[in-house]
Structure 1
Amino acid sequence: MLLSRIGRHPESGLSLTDLVTASGLNKPTVRRLLMALIRGGLVEQDPTRRTYHLGEEAYVLGTMAAGRHGLVERTADAVGRLARESGDTAFVTARRGTAAVCLHREEGSFPIRTHALVPGAQHPLGVGAGSLAMLAALPDPEVEAVLAENTGLLADSYPALTPETLRDQIARTRETGYALNPGLVVPGSWGLGVAIRHPDGTVAGALSLAAIESRMQPPRDRTLADALTRETQIIESRLARSFADRNGA
């Protein structure tokens, strides 16, 4: 749990106090666990700021896991094409339980950019276009479980996104085939997202685009959604081939 929480703050790191508060454990226990993680090379402490960050061994393990779980590697060219062709900012996002985590971001050439999402940023599922696309791709019972788990966080940090609002957005996403965030997270920052699925239909992640409001209006929004769908289909074909190779098909 501590390693996961530290990994979600790659730039700033977390202090001992932050980790005690977030974990609910007492300070001696957190300190003891951190020392074990440091000895294993999974965590390191900034000598000046005294904050905790992922260590070199965490990087090594992540690299080793990339072949099986490397969504960034499988989507990097698609994200690059989306950014170049649209001129807007493109992202790949993955699900982590009841949250969505931004894995990668590519800037387009349009001079006015939106900075609503950066790599490592985490939001409740349904908050943001890629995140909403993943939530809408889940079975209804799982959607309701996610909304129930996130109700308090949504009310505290995202008051415009009530469970009722998200249910309406999920219905629209399923109808159109893509998710639309009309500036509900950061005013003026709009987004479109499409879920990526594994061969068995489960959610692998999402591709999304973000831009200022004027660049997400009809008919351009449909053109962007079509581009997202095209790239998603390419990625899903790769995932299907990888699945077949692992299973000897």
Structure 2
Amino acid sequence: MAAQASFFAASLAPSGGAQAVDRALALLAAVGRAPPEGSSLAALAQAAGVAKPTARRLLISLMGAHLVEQDAGTRAYHLGTGAFLLGLRAGRRHDMAEQAADCVARLARDSGDSAFLLVSQGDEVVCLMREEGAFPIRTHALLAGDRNPAGVGAGGIALLAALPPDEAVATLDRIAPATFARMGEAAAYLPADVALARERGFALNPGRVVPGSWGVAVPVLWPDGRPAAALTIAAIDSRMGPARQPELVRLLRTEAALIEARLARPLTPGATPAPQPTLRTARG
């Protein structure tokens, strides 16, 4: 790891500047996208948009940091052991689906409706998981793998509401064309929906994306208070009335608290998920 730090420190020096970091990261990404047999210097240089001598120099630095390695026989480049170790560390923190799979399943079972796990990715929200409940009439507004602009749907509103207000406003301003393309005139309600979710501690989507398809969501927070994910329950509008919303929010908050407890544990190799709670209690 010291070699990685020294490489990036050198790249930020006046002789290299931020451009060297951008080029090195582009090369690293190109190596990561290479086929199993690896990739040649020429192919990587073309993919990263740099000259071959520059690519070779940066690849040597990446190899020194163990992020890239070169096959002695074929001369092809592959991700190195350093990238593997970084991936393991990132996986323990960011494999949200593994941390939350049982929670999403319980939400679907206990509510009888569709339950989802969503995460932010840049200015988009990605649905990582969807579990179906037993109620026969379902909403198909969101499927696993779907992407939407930030703020679209209850989970997207919950994630934005968990951000500092000025950051949420800046995000909404930045993605306004995308949200209008997805939601039409209903996108105008998003700032008020986010503000209300911040006040209540949960988000409600009253059919703004797909008419008749409602959702309620709460954020899952990292220990530092930043949003890590959102848990959502979605159903047809007749199952989302004011009388039922508090019970759904209670279920969501219970599972969100369990995931947050898992995220707060030390990231040790081989750690197992925290035990399931024997008594459901809502967060305060």
In 2, the alpha carbon distance for the partners of 1:132 and 1:90 equals 16
Partner residue, 1:161: 186
Partner residue, 1:46: none
Contact 1:160 1:184 (C-alpha < 8 Å) held by counterparts: no
Contact 2:172 2:191 (C-alpha < 8 Å) held by counterparts: no
Using the TM superposition, name which of 63-72 and 114-123 deviates more. 63-72
Normalising by structure 2, we get a TM-score of 0.63
Partner residue, 2:107: 82
Query: Which of the numbers 223, 228, 236 marks the counterpart of 1:212?
Result: 236
Q: Secondary structure at the match of 2:175?
A: helix
In 2, the alpha carbon distance for the partners of 1:201 and 1:160 equals 32
Query: Which of the numbers 191, 199, 209 marks the counterpart of 2:215?
Result: 191
By how many angstroms is 1:176 displaced? Answer: 1.5
1:113 aligns with 2:141: no
By how many angstroms is 1:103 displaced? Answer: 0.3
1:91 aligns with 2:116: yes
Normalising by structure 1, we get a TM-score of 0.72
Matches within 5 A, 1:15-164: 37-40=33-36, 64=88, 65-162=90-187, 164=188
Distance 1:167-1:234 versus aligned 2 partners, 3 A rule: same
Distance 1:41-1:96 versus aligned 2 partners, 3 A rule: farther
Partner residue, 2:281: none
CA RMSD of aligned residues (A): 2.6
Distance 1:36-1:233 versus aligned 2 partners, 3 A rule: closer
Cα deviation 1:167-202 (Å, max 9, x = unaligned): 110121112111000011111110000000000001
Contact 1:74 1:238 (C-alpha < 8 Å) held by counterparts: yes
Distance 1:176-1:41 versus aligned 2 partners, 3 A rule: farther
In 2, the alpha carbon distance for the partners of 1:203 and 1:89 equals 22
In 2, the alpha carbon distance for the partners of 1:118 and 1:66 equals 23
Cα deviation 1:67-91 (Å, max 9, x = unaligned): 2311001111110110000100000
By how many angstroms is 1:149 displaced? Answer: 1.5
By how many angstroms is 1:218 displaced? Answer: 2.1
Aligned length: 196
Aligned identity (percent) is: 46
Partner residue, 1:242: 266
In 2, the alpha carbon distance for the partners of 1:37 and 1:236 equals 32
Q: Which amino acid aligns with 1:133?
A: A
Q: Secondary structure at the match of 1:242?
A: coil
Partner residue, 1:181: 205
Give the structure, 1 or 2, with the largest relative contact order (CA under 8 Å, sep 6 or more).
1
Q: Secondary structure at the match of 2:266?
A: helix
Partner residue, 1:28: none
In 1, the alpha carbon distance for the partners of 2:36 and 2:180 equals 39
Distance 1:130-1:36 versus aligned 2 partners, 3 A rule: closer
Contact 1:127 1:161 (C-alpha < 8 Å) held by counterparts: no
List gaps (5 residues or longer) in structure 1: 1-32, 43-56
Q: Secondary structure at the match of 1:108?
A: coil
Partner residue, 1:6: none
Q: Secondary structure at the match of 2:218?
A: strand
By how many angstroms is 1:160 displaced? Answer: 3.1
